[in-house]
Chains A and B, each alone.
Chain A
Amino acid sequence: MTDTPTPALRVDPGGRIGVSMTVNGTAISTDVEVRRTLADVLRDDLDLTGTHVGCEHGVCGACTVAVDGQPVRACLLLAVQVDGTEITTIEGLANPDGSLGPLQQAFHDAHGFQCAFCAPGVLITTASLLETNPTPTRDEIKAELSGNLCRCTGYHSIIESVETAVRLTAAGAKSTDGGDEEASNA
């Protein structure tokens, strides 16, 4: 063996490293311990607590965020791995004035959630789905959302919400704030 090249970067245990990323449109640079996950950095360091941690082993999907437009599990990524990327979280789906964005509005209109702990992952997964497939079938919605566990709803209202979003997008219509007067008693 000849000369051993020096690794470009080496950080000892417990060491920190600078990470730069664009989160919900805002450029952020922060120092993080290399072992910290993206989920923990978003929540604890950047105070973006809308992203939730439900299992920390990649199954429940609550921590799903979009990295460069692709849905990923923020609990299965180290923050150092996303240096230089663009990240969208549930906070980034709202309108600039803080009001409900179109997807959030659809989930509001269709009574999508109950406890809403799964909401960050469901919303980001749905946003990613609709970007690549703006008119998914009900089966496609179910399959895509099968990586996001919800314990409250039985999923029906979530699927209805996605369908509502699809309809609203298709109609280019903006939801109104009027009460929902649908008949309920059979």
Chain B
Amino acid sequence: MRESLAGSFVGTSVKRVEDERLLTGAGSYIGDLKVEGMAHAAFLRSPYAHATIERINAAAAQRLPGVIDIITGEEMQAITNPFVPLGMIDGLYTPLFWPLAIDRVRMVGDPIAIVIAESRYIAEDAIQLIEVDYEPLPTVANMAEATRAGAEQIWPRADGNVMFRTEADYGDVDAVFASADRVISETFESHRHSNQPMETRGSLAEVTPDEVIFHSAAQNSHGLRWVLAMATSSEPVLDSVKELAGPGRDKLKAFGAGAKAFITERKDDLGDADNKGFIHQVRHDPTTLKHLGKVFMNVLAQDERRRPRVVADDIGGAFGVKGHPGREDAALLAAALKLNRSIKWIEDRNEHLTVGGMAREETLSVQVAVNDDGELLGLKVDMTMDQGAYPAVPFGAATFAGIMRVMMPGTYRFKAYSMKAAAIASNKAKYVAYRGPWANETWVRERMLDVVARELGLSPTELRLRNMYGVDELPTKMLTGPTLDVRMSAKATLEKAIEVAGIDDFRAAQAKARENGHLLGIGFSTYHEGAPGPPDYADAILPGSGAMMAEPLTTVLEADGTVSVITAQMPHGQSHETTLAQVAADQLGVAMDQVRVIFGDTAKTDFSLLGTGGSRGGPMGGGATLFAARGLRDRILDEAADMLEANRGDLEITDGAIHVAGVPSISKSFAEVAEVVRTRPGSTEPLTGSVEYDGGPGGWVQATHVAFVDIDIETGFVTIPRYVVVEDCGELINPAIVEGQVRGGVAQGVGAVFYEKSAYDDDANFQAGTFMDYLIPTAMEIPDIEIHHLETPSDIEANFRGVGEGGMIGSPAALTNAVEDALAHLGVRITEQHLPPTRILELAGVIAPA
């Protein structure tokens, strides 16, 4: 298929390259893969939230025809390493744990045994035949219990159940608070909910005579590769160590740019901060040192076979959850290596709901110092996060606390700010990244601003306008460090949103509807997001982390004249095969069908620690493509100049034909250039253009959301008659794809606020293990979403900013603010994020609280 003439793809809604296979059922998702001799795995999981394992008897299960092997915790411990902490942050203790529970289960769904069988059906039969004796322990079901005196301690080496503590001050907080007319306080709670892509997690460890290929629905194949290598590495043999220490530096090289970033660059950059995290960890668990040393030595020295090649192909959504290597992945690889056999594991929905990963369970106490005229002065936040039993790999709650700390003040002119944060352990599933993992900074700030406005008798939009940085004040710096550059247009999005919202008309309709038992409400929320953020953004979160943020990308002129864009990005719905091809095609002056985007295979792509996440696809992937393709264009033109005997500067490319400007009749094609390069005596390497793109000037993406709600006060049901997003993500690569990302994010926010909850009871028993209990909204519940694009003019090249997460960052605040607006005349203040019908009627005083 040939899209319109080359040279003008960026900015148009080019139809998706991916569709040809995905719309015909020819996609290649992890569950679709089959390899020779493939066995199937299933996990026996704990029905208890907290218990010791007294005895496991798998004899009957082992005898079941079709069962190949059953590996339980002790054997797994012998053939794997614990997950060693990679992100050591001051104040964080990360417990060491193995792929399977060994003598104690810490959550419902904790994996106890992996069963390998000829079919998944037989594996599940065998699971029913394994006998486990448990001795139940007291449970820790929530944050209040976790920190109660005498609470059962989940990790013996921790400080009680507190796994992480941090504190930071910006400005003279005490003085600013003392100077304020008043201080307004409130505590907000957000509930556990989860990503729930339509495809669950899954992997296939393929064992071939030559290599081990770990196919996985992974957002970041390189990250998964190294975590797996570390988890399954075994003692190096003496020869390997010699080789490592000897003149052959190949293995060190092979360790890759990422390991270099980890070990070398961090050591240079981090100084004291890094050591503090390391010391904190080792003080709590000295064996960390032993395991770290062993794991890294092993990984460096070990047999290549033990470092799997990771291949990811089509992925059925992820929203963050597939950026975390699973304990199941490590168990699967260890089993495959033990049995020398290919094994597939596809998580079922009950497993995914129960242990796949959950997010956002946080309590935040907020104090705002403000003058009576509405001038915001100071902000204090004290946050507790419930990270569940096992920390996510490789990064978890503590990392996201850092982003929240930096982003919490938003684009408002606070004079002083302090944040305290703690993460506690509970007998629940792991806390993972979910679409804007730090999003509660926006929810809490924007919710709190409405509370403040109401107390001061100001309108919520008036309070925001009065305190938000306007373009005339830019550039400036956030109190927390990052630069707000001249393209930071949060206020412009708010002004536009106010204009399109029609507040006066709405207020008239609101008054009228009340007579009919319908309570209408309007809610605003404004945020900015570092996608990718300015150059000083990452280091404000974690000093030295900026070094890890670069995006590698290589473009190659293939022998047939097509261009490959080889990216470390890992698309899982974002349509990179289309958008990156648009950028490359424009740079190279070729048609879309002359560009192919290659991703997912660690044998083909450059190392990146990040893959796709953090809304990096557009800004980092797009920017890297632009500059790499430009480099390739230069090399192609150099070659063509020789071939055409023309001045390099006189050449241009029109629809794939390289010619002297104004003389299109004499031209060379990309294929002809490739042929000359390929057949040249000596080097036959194809022409390439590569970058390690650092994001350039980067910048912010910003938006204002306006939610309109209609509450039926008899039933507590909420509908959303209108929803408006005004956003500025810079230059749009593909408007239809941008809008799809925005709408999808808002839909997940609607789900979070009104439908979805990963509910546990008071004994930490999980209550939402089916899609009849965990309520993903349907086409009937999601409103039409109106989108207005702003673009702040700029001559910056690659002025792309990310839109993957924003929809979900902005929506919970807009929606809960709208609900409060609808109920405000009843004296209602909304302090929780989840508002199912029961809660609405309780808040409205229609029914008694349960």
Residues in chain A within 8 A of chain B (CB atoms)? 33, 35-36, 43-44, 47-57, 59-60, 62, 89-91, 93-94, 98, 100, 104, 107-109, 111-120, 123, 141-143, 145-159, 177-182, 184-186
Contacts and interface: CB of A to CB of B under 8 A. Distances in A.
Interface string B393-424: 00000000000000000000000000000000
Contacts of B18: 116
A184 B314 CA distance: 28
Contacts of B316: 52, 54, 115-117
**Size band of the interface chain B makes with A:** 35 or more
B663 interface: no
Contacts of B15: 108-109, 111, 179-180
A36 B122 CA distance: 11
B779 A185 contact: no
Contacts of A118: 198
A135 B143 CA distance: 53
A8 to B, nearest CB: 25
B666 interface: no
Nearest to A179: B4
Nearest to B731: A185
A38 B735 CA distance: 39
Interface in B736-751: 736-737, 739-741, 743-748
Contacts of B319: 151
11 contacts: A52-B199, A107-B19, A108-B15, A116-B573, A141-B779, A145-B779, A151-B319, A154-B785, A179-B9, A180-B14, A184-B12
A177 B779 contact: no
A123 B573 contact: no
Interface string B744-773: 111110000000000000000000001110
A111 B747 CA distance: 17
A117 B25 contact: no
A54 B265 CA distance: 42
Contacts of A146: 778-780
Interface of B: 1-4, 9, 11-16, 18-20, 22-27, 29, 31-32, 34, 121, 196-200, 314-317, 319, 348-349, 572-575, 732, 735-737, 739-741, 743-748, 770-772, 776, 778-780, 782, 784-785, 788-791, 807
A7 B737 CA distance: 57
Given A113-B22, A153-B744, A57 B198 contact: no
B138 to A, nearest CB: 32
Contact of A53 (B13, B19, B31, B744): B31
A114 B572 CA distance: 8
A87 to B, nearest CB: 13
B779 A119 contact: no
Given A53-B31, A60-B198, A104 B778 contact: no
Nearest to A54: B198
Contacts of B740: 111, 114, 152-154, 156-157
Contacts of B32: 43, 49
B25 A152 contact: no
B730 to A, nearest CB: 11
Contacts of A48: 25
A153 B743 contact: yes
Q: Which of B349, B746, B748, B778 is the most central at the interface, judged by chain A CB atoms within 10 Å of its CB?
A: B778
A151 B31 CA distance: 18
